[in-house]
Chains A and B, each alone.
Chain A
Amino acid sequence: AQSVTQLDSQVPVFEEAPVELRCNYSSSVSVYLFWYVQYPNQGLQLLLKYLSGSTLVKGINGFEAEFNKSQTSFHLRKPSVHISDTAEYFCAVSLTIVAGTALIFGKGTTLSVSS
């Protein structure tokens, strides 16, 4: 079985500080990993994804994530956050289900950036 654990439910940080949002997954097979951002009452926007190849993945808005197979982690990082980065962030894994393949999400991390 595959699952996704986001270790921090809330991460408060000051503007221009670095941030790391942690994500661990459990899987016995190769996985596709994703990070999405959700602003209030909106759908999901893809930040980045890992499919294969380089373990360091760069995404939009200055975010990046590193796939670590030995630690089964896919932590999201940004060296300097902005107020506008305040949102909900979801880590997800592509999971094979009865009907095919679907995305299964972690519980989310609320990033709050203050000045």
Chain B
Amino acid sequence: GAVVSQHPSRVICKSGTSVKIECRSLDFQATTMFWYRQFPKQSLMLMATSNEGSKATYEQGVEKDKFLINHASLTLSTLTVTSAHPEDSSFYICSARPYMDGYTFGSGTRLTVV
């Protein structure tokens, strides 16, 4: 149980376009989801925390207008990379906390902006 499904797994987009990444909790309700970004050979950096029905909380240095987060239901959070540029190319991972002592991660999305 406690599965988080993330789509797409890979996406290539042209510079200047927007890309939406979905994160769904399949068998539990997630009032809070977390979005991470991972550069090659580096760690996961927390970008933002999305909360169902309210605005996301962004970590310092993360552009709110570039990385739009929506958490419209208890099972879906989306991250939209707006006006993407090559420097936005990265591996994006979502996470949820189905229990007090555990976190579950999506399988990640490899974004390449050309």
Residues of A within 8 A of B (CB): 32, 34, 36, 41-44, 46, 49, 51, 90, 97-108, 110
Assembled-state Cα–Cα distance A41/B92 (Å): 10
B102 touching A102 by the CB < 8 A rule?
Answer: no
A43 touching B49 by the CB < 8 A rule?
Answer: no
Assembled-state Cα–Cα distance A106/B44 (Å): 8
20 further A-B contacts with Cβ under 8 Å, apart from A36-B105, A103-B103, are A34-B103, A41-B91, A41-B108, A42-B107, A43-B93, A43-B105, A43-B106, A43-B108, A44-B105, A46-B103, A49-B102, A51-B101, A97-B46, A97-B49, A103-B46, A105-B43, A105-B45, A107-B42, A108-B43, A110-B41
B51 touching A99 by the CB < 8 A rule?
Answer: yes
A99 touching B106 by the CB < 8 A rule?
Answer: no
For residue B6, CB closer than 8 A to chain A, the reply is yes
A43 touching B42 by the CB < 8 A rule?
Answer: no
List the A side residues contacting B42 at CB < 8 Å: 107-108
Residues of B within 8 A of A (CB): 6, 32, 34, 41-46, 49, 51, 57, 59, 91, 93, 95, 97, 101-103, 105-108, 110
A99 touching B57 by the CB < 8 A rule?
Answer: yes
Measured CB to CB, the nearest residue on chain B to A110 is B41
Measured CB to CB, the nearest residue on chain B to A107 is B43
A99 touching B6 by the CB < 8 A rule?
Answer: no
A101 touching B97 by the CB < 8 A rule?
Answer: yes
